[in-house]
Homo-oligomer: A and B are copies of this chain.
């Protein structure tokens, strides 16, 4: 089993139970998570040695976030206590034709003001095999951009494999700023995960000129854009998930991967999933 480090923001998610609208809810279900924290929890669940790097405020809500990670067996000893609050997002789960709704209340969060000197990256990466981050982390604040690059430099200095999930978040930054920041960070990345939209918004790649009208041609578009990405950044692997909506109750999920060196391209089998209306 590998030792994997992930870094990012962990937020308090307050979601309405039983598909209630915000205005109907008398209570919120409590969860603590975020893109990078969730990856750490999943890896720990599969038996890997996962460590999560973040900053939380020095108050009971921050400690609850840390306790949640600890419960799921994620390493938490490098988490900093600083800043004034834990980011929050409110989730109203959708129902039938009504879409889910998210209200973010994440400004001024602990991670947005954290600085590299709060973390002992040499110790963090000393025995690590892999470092994973997403495009959400540097989008949080300018301080977070510096923090992300500091972590990446340390990871590379220790020979750690680096993966990124591009994850464009338009509420946090513009495509222009994302491209400027993330293009620079790609020099540290070995494995890049992202769909066509992420590739365009975060890294500036234009989708290929393929005539995309069926499933097969869509894959051709991915081959084209993955080739461009491998050419420009020399990624070892480029990966994307693929989602098809067959009907209201039948979505097909699959994934594709390209070997950056051999340019071999694989497409996984599809899973048919009924969207979970109740969560």
Give residues in A with beta carbon < 8 Å to B. 14, 17-19, 22-23, 25-30, 59-61, 63-64, 67-68, 70-73, 84-86, 88, 90, 92, 95-97, 101, 103, 105, 107-108, 247-250, 271-279
Contact indicator A30/B23 (Cβ below 8 Å):
no
> How far is A30 from B21 in the complex, measured between Cα atoms in Å?
13
Contact indicator B64/A22 (Cβ below 8 Å):
yes
Partner among B30, B84, B273, B276 whose Cβ is within 8 Å of the Cβ of A26: B30
Would you mind naming 25 contact pairs between A and B with Cβ atoms under 8 Å apart?
A14-B14, A14-B28, A19-B278, A22-B60, A22-B61, A23-B63, A23-B64, A23-B67, A25-B30, A26-B29, A28-B28, A28-B30, A59-B103, A60-B103, A67-B73, A68-B71, A86-B105, A88-B105, A97-B271, A97-B273, A107-B108, A247-B250, A248-B250, A248-B273, A249-B274
> How far is A195 from B26 in the complex, measured between Cα atoms in Å?
34
* Chain B residues with CB below 8 A from A85, complex form: 105, 107
Apart from A23-B60, A26-B30, A274-B274, what 16 extra A-B contacts exist at CB < 8 Å?
A17-B18, A17-B27, A19-B278, A25-B30, A60-B103, A61-B90, A67-B71, A68-B71, A71-B71, A86-B105, A247-B250, A248-B249, A248-B273, A248-B274, A276-B277, A278-B278
> How far is A73 from B77 in the complex, measured between Cα atoms in Å?
11
Partner among B27, B90, B247 whose Cβ is within 8 Å of the Cβ of A27: B27
> How far is A19 from B29 in the complex, measured between Cα atoms in Å?
14
Partner among B19, B97, B101, B278 whose Cβ is within 8 Å of the Cβ of A60: B101
* A273: nearest chain-B partner, CB-CB: B96
* A85: nearest chain-B partner, CB-CB: B105
Partner among B84, B250, B277 whose Cβ is within 8 Å of the Cβ of A278: B277
> How far is A72 from B23 in the complex, measured between Cα atoms in Å?
8
> How far is A277 from B52 in the complex, measured between Cα atoms in Å?
32
Contact indicator A95/B274 (Cβ below 8 Å):
no
* Chain B residues with CB below 8 A from A84, complex form: 107
